[in-house]
Amino acid sequence: MFGYYRVAAAVNHTTVANPAKNGVEIQKLIEEAHSKEVSVVVFPELTLTGYTASDLFLNQTLLQAQNDALQDLLEKTKQINTVAIVGVAIMEADRLYNCAAIIQSGHILGVVPKSYLPNKKEFYEKRQFVSGRDIVRTTTEMFGEEVPFGVDLLFYDGAEMTFGVEICEDLWAVTPPSNHMASNGANLFFNLSASNELIGKHQYREELVRTQSARCMAAYVYSSSGVGESTTDTVYGGHAIIAEYGSTLAENERFRMDSHLITADVDLEKLRWLRLNESSYGDARRKKTRTVKLGTLPQISTLQRTINPHPFVPSAFGDKQTRCEEIIHIQAHGLIKRMRHAEIKKALIGISGGLDSTLALLSTHYAFKMMGWDTQNIIAVTMPGFGTTSRTKSNAMKLCDALEVTLKEVDITDLSLKEFEAIGHDPDDHSVTYENVQARARTSILMNMSNREGGLVIGTGDLSEIALGWSTYNGDHMSMYALNSGIPKTLIKYVIEYYKQNETIAPIIDDILNTPISPELLPHSDDAITQETEEIVGPYELHDFFLYHFIKYGAKPEKIRYLATLAFDGVYDEATITKWLKTFLWRFFTQQFKRSCMPDGPKVGTISLSPRADWKMPSDADVKAWIDVLEG
């Protein structure tokens, strides 16, 4: 389903040195995983025997009992197409290896030996086992069949999934095998582990799994031995973790007495395309590997994953505070560098009382205060026109007064009327010409005033407007430094809210945040906003959602639509989402010419549309292929 796979980490109740009894618990968990539409489930290290069997691994009876239990497990799971990764001890060339057996539908698809054997403190694996890190291009015989055996094995389904297997200490090594597997296309890793509990160790373990998933741009599923292992010298808590690209998706409660599993839906399609879009992944050195084709896997009927409707906005309040502070500093230092380099001491901002100009003014003011510059050198220019309301104008003026910046007012109505006359436009014709004349008049005033004052014109347009091309070419599209160009609309208001810590301006900011977004270019009769942007181009929260998934990893339109129906369930129906997604795509393609010559501005998040930094696209690309998918 759109590149999503359900994976699981299982922790079985262990009875040390009793493979038959352990096999029963493993079978139950495989059946449960299959009933939950899990594609692959991983178990703890040396699952059938128990990790703590110690020197009993050197006893023929235990190994025979393990092999019997494994053969029985294969027989009883013939009708199950969920892949299970089970820990076993394998005798090969008169050596004993700590291994992972990858099984599906009653067959062993491959066996991966452990590379790094701990031999210190409470762990002495080299007493029983031999490292398999040099085993490649080899097979081993199991139950009368030749089975691929080695650390060079990857398993794939012919679609989005390619997974590799590590065993416990492999992950803790200086160079984990998963690094090399990732460079060969593995986007999913499973780790069978036996990690004992020490104070604080579980936190480090979770961090290790999470950060390795980020480093490899992959998903990582980890299962560790639990209750039932020997407590002679150590205690095992049965830690299970599922992470994806630096985020933990699921984590169990340790020290449970029962057998259990956790599941999560990982987006492997996204991970594959992130590698193309965001990193130097392609420069990683490849090694020779063998691939094993999986059989048909269970399919997810319903996605069990929360889709964030506002991907640019952090969900936790504390994170919002941190994010806002970072954004403000990026904006401020970008502006400071530009002004100092140009030896300019004044900044000019067209202030409307809307969200974007408010943030530009606040961040510019922050930069001036940081540097100890005179805030009177911030020249805020309000330029009322045919559609300006007293509410927005009043808020703009109050904010300028509270921040102690220089406020200038230039009414553009007469200037616009003269322009209409010059080009032969009827003032009663409220078409795009009527609006754009006003937008260009304002920009012309700011540019000319900047020459007179020796100042820098600060652009106020945000990332969402740049994506949609919601600006007048060579009007508000142009500035000398586009301060908001890296911030989407859904994040703008959170950054503005940060400034409410200043109690003097908090009431003003509240009213600005509650004012409908509008260019205020069309006349009004009762001093009320008659032109609401989101009624024309669609809700910005939808467009920001579309933008994130379209740019971040090149998601297909049908996937974006599907995810949006989940993220905005109960807010927008599928027809509404489709309508505005088509609008987004059409505007994004047709308005590239504006982005091709947009002014400099600081990149803030991972997504930027600057033609110099992140996004290069022909201005005459055809959107038909993308629209056809939605209409098909």
Catalytic residues: 45, 114, 168
> In angstroms, what is the C-alpha Rg of the chain?
31
User: In angstroms, rounded to a whole number, what is the distance separating the alpha carbons of residues 126 and 120?
Assistant: 10
CB 12 within 8 A of CB 47: yes
CA 44 to chain centre: 29
Backbone angles phi, psi at 97, to 5 degrees: -120, 140
Cα end-to-end span (Å), the chain: 18
Dihedral sign computed on CA atoms, order 389, 390, 392, 393: positive
Q: Is 141 exposed, middle or buried (0-12, 13-18, 19+ CB in 10 A)?
A: exposed
CB 275 within 8 A of CB 186: no
User: In angstroms, rounded to a whole number, what is the distance separating the alpha carbons of residues 120 and 107?
Assistant: 36
- What is the rounded (10 degree) CA torsion for 154, 158, 161, 164? 0
User: In angstroms, rounded to a whole number, what is the distance separating the alpha carbons of residues 333 and 483?
Assistant: 11
CB 446 within 8 A of CB 412: no
Structure tokens at 102: 């990858």
Residues 6+ apart with CB under 8 A from 312: 488, 490, 491, 544, 548, 605, 607
What is the three-class DSSP state of 185?
coil
Residue 510, amino acid:
D
The position carrying tokens 């092999």 is 67
Q: Quickly list H helices, 77-198.
A: 169-172, 177-183
Dihedral sign computed on CA atoms, order 471, 476, 482, 488: negative
Q: What is the bridge-based pairing of β-strands 123-124 and 240-244?
A: unpaired
User: In angstroms, rounded to a whole number, what is the distance separating the alpha carbons of residues 42 and 45?
Assistant: 9
The position carrying tokens 């200037």 is 415
Residue 319, amino acid:
D
User: In angstroms, rounded to a whole number, what is the distance separating the alpha carbons of residues 560 and 549?
Assistant: 7
User: In angstroms, rounded to a whole number, what is the distance separating the alpha carbons of residues 507 and 398?
Assistant: 10
Q: Which residues of 236-249 are buried (b: 16+ CB within 10 A; e: fewer)?
A: bbbbbbbbbbeebb
Structure tokens at 567: 């993220």
Per the DSSP assignment, residues forming a β-bridge with 409 are 382
Cα angle vertex 34, ends 49, 156, to 5°? 85
User: In angstroms, rounded to a whole number, what is the distance separating the alpha carbons of residues 55 and 67?
Assistant: 17
